[in-house]
Structure 1
Amino acid sequence: MLFVVSVMLFLSAGIVHAAKVEAVVPQLILDGKTLKPDVAPIIMSNSVLIPVRIATESLGFKVDYDNKKRQVTVSNGVKQLIMTIDNKTALLDNEPKQMLVAPQLISNTTLIPLRFLGDSLGVSVVWDNKIKSVFLYSPDNSTPPVTEPPETETPTKPDDGEVDTPVTTPVINGNIYEVRYETNSVVLKYDGVIAPSIFKLDNPKRIVVDLPNTQYAPSGFLPAVDFSKEAEGKLLVTEHPALQSVRYSLFGEASKAPRFVLDLNQNMDYELINDTTIGELRIFLVQPVSVPIPSKSLYTVVLDAGHGGSDPGAISITKRTEKEFNLSVILKVQALLSGEEKIKLVMTRTTDTFPTLADRYNLANSVKADLFVSVHANSYTPATNGTETYYTREDSKAFATLMHSYLAPATGLKDNGVRRHSVNLAVTTKTTMPAILLEIGYLSSQIDEPQLFTEDLQNRVAVAIATGIKKQLKLI
């Protein structure tokens, strides 16, 4: 979970030459309620740190502090997070996780990085630049104004990567003046108010930054490009080992808002720093943190064929059912992995039955599975097509990315990338191991559907899934 950290300064009242610069303290608002900690949040190394006790106890977690070890433990019976003062390595359910900034002890209060709280405990974080406030939303509360729908296995409104989203009435709140590369970061200069939207895509690897409700400055943008004659501009980068170029263009039929695409030759993560005092947004490129799976003599993998029985799932344009496709692919994966001595397979269904969502994730948790893979086919508009890999929890992201690197080329369909689903999926949320949901293609698409029910495509997909599982478990 990524959020924008803003560095905020303002001039106090008084004579200009005697004005004093003070740091603005962000407000903390949890599910609409303003929190009032004894020790205020701080900004350190471009990260916001907040008091761990008031935030986590308000979310229903128990907080314990060990003075001798200088450790704070946050738990709720399902998750356990252990952090040590001045140590950037934490333990989430006994797995090491890296923080960008170590926890701090100030006036007997432990402060931890806000982003790490969200990533570890499933807390949604929204930065409101206009009112200088951090909004936190517990896992049972979706980000407003969306009302959380019932649990569903299949995403209903996919985001097709770099597909334009029409904006009927564009409102311009800011101007973008410049893009440049500078010491491991891409810098955007602007005025006014911006609300960046950022996401990653694979094959090829890209980081996409959209700036809705803004425009390229009418007085001039650097490096200059005439969008009436050119589809995009390009800034070549030679000083970074992964970043090759930054492309800038317009997105949205009506909005024509700025879009920046960072072209990469390897996987990279990012941090956003938005300094509103000087109108500067920095996208820092950082190496992804990889935590290897401990070596074991036997791994348990749960294979889930979505829907089934009384639940047909999506219906294809030729009236075939999603449940039929899902089961066919999963049984092929089972056949490929059944001979692996170090893998124990657990199937949520092997026939046309209907286990509930709770049956599926409870089964995976009860057998203490190492991995969970759910297979689906999607349905949306006739124009939507392609392959997607979904995850929900941060501990599933690496598995999702690895699996998609095999799955997308195997399908031969449009690559829609790896997605962190904005409305939590039950089987990827309530499992306790790395869990992913694969949308192989669209049954509503005249491009995808004819291929999805062929033996050739299903065999290629099954091999890709089996390979992704073995790669994740370090068996090949």
Structure 2
Amino acid sequence: MKKRISVLLMLVMLLTSISGAFASGENFNATVNGTPGSYLKVNVNIDGKTMSGDVPAIVYGTTTMVPARFISEGIGGEVEWLQKTQEVVVRLKSKVVSVKLGSREAVVDGVKKYIPSDVSAPIAMNGRVMIPLRFVSENFGAEVKWDDKTKTATVKTDRVGTDITPGPVTPSQTQLKTVAKQTINGREAIVVRNSGAVEYTHMRLENPTRVVLDIKNSTLSEGEKTYALSTGVVEKVRTGNNSGVSRVVLDVKENIKLSSYDIQKSGNDLIIYTEGKQEVFYEVYQGDAHLGKFSTKDQAIVEAKKWADSVIVFGGTVVWKFADNVNNGGGSGKTIVIDPGHGGSDPGALSYSKKYREKDLALSVGLKLERELKARGYNVVMTRRTDIYPTLSERSQIANNANADGFISIHFNAAAPAATGLETFLYGAGTVSYKGATDLQFAKSIHAGLMGATPGSVNRGVKNGDFSVLRNTKGLAALVELGFITNPNDESRLVSDAYHELCAKGMANGVDNFFKK
């Protein structure tokens, strides 16, 4: 067999430069996707050689990320940065792997694949594009191992680029290994993991509604099983096997109307997306007579608190009544989009003690702000309510699609240990207008609310910031930095639930004061 040029040697040139060195296990302060943070530096060892460069490999979330560079033609491989599509394309002879900045979609030899939800998508760090070492390397056939004690990613290229004639695979060798729930590009999916390539058929059955996949020439690694994998549409997943056919059944929730489903292949795995709408059931009576149980054809959930006293009348008789807790807040049905920063594979900044992650703190504050604003009569849309990572463009798109009256992105700061205080950002000159008021006034009102609710905090003011979520949101938008979790004196206060409550109330006060004007 003829061994081709090792693609991992190509990756060495791609991912490192000739100067500089960094000690592993130390932290590296960097700006990732527009947000400053502190990240663990790690070693990368390829075929026994420890690599060094002017930019270190880091751990981002749980992923070893390395900087992408052009490579010399003499290596036999090529790396190209496509500015228009924000893609890194790695080529070695007939093998091509491309990954896109901020996206979980990848293309391997013309076939679309998805970067797993527990692996970071490519990021921008200090002006460099950083790509996931394991994902790219393994798609070229390399073996990657991690030594947590020495903080070293070890790559072996023995099998890379080698001409291999695969032995025959009998149909019985294909196994359904497991079924899992995964979030891909912000969408919930059910993933059926298989040991090899599969052939399958699918169908939709009713009464009750379910999606059925039959995988040919397959066995069940875990035996017949019911998986408690609940999504917005799916209640649970069941597997069984009959005469060499593995059946996967996705049971749809009783109150959900399944509108569509989509099955995609990613390597040997099958990824199933489901879309549905919640049906609203109601019963109608006239006197003591039960006239029937009805459901909406489409999703129709209305915030009752918009109405002071709403009734449904059928045949002259009141059959449904909504009472409202009308309050004196400034909400009046206005829509506020709350964006808890980071999430999923993007942890954001790490606290001074390394115990706390920005993504968790931002979500804690965001959920409290959601509750506070809803109590004051606002419609609230969250860019995330769980530990997922919507891309920066998706966050702005959520706000634009909601025609939001206001957008608030929540973050915690990171810098040198002495840095302290709160600051609020807006984009540009502050000329976006809302009934005569501007986004500068919106940002100032939120900041004033924060400072009023957190006595003793250092006021770092309202500033201009070129953040993607602000730049691409059409309406009023502000980004808050609720303190420096890298400050050892501030950490315990900033991570506390009590402080998060204060921040939520302060921002809600600021929103209220702005919209009451």
TM-score (norm 2): 0.33
Kindly name which structure, 1 or 2, has the bigger radius of gyration based on alpha carbons.
2
TM-score (norm 1): 0.36
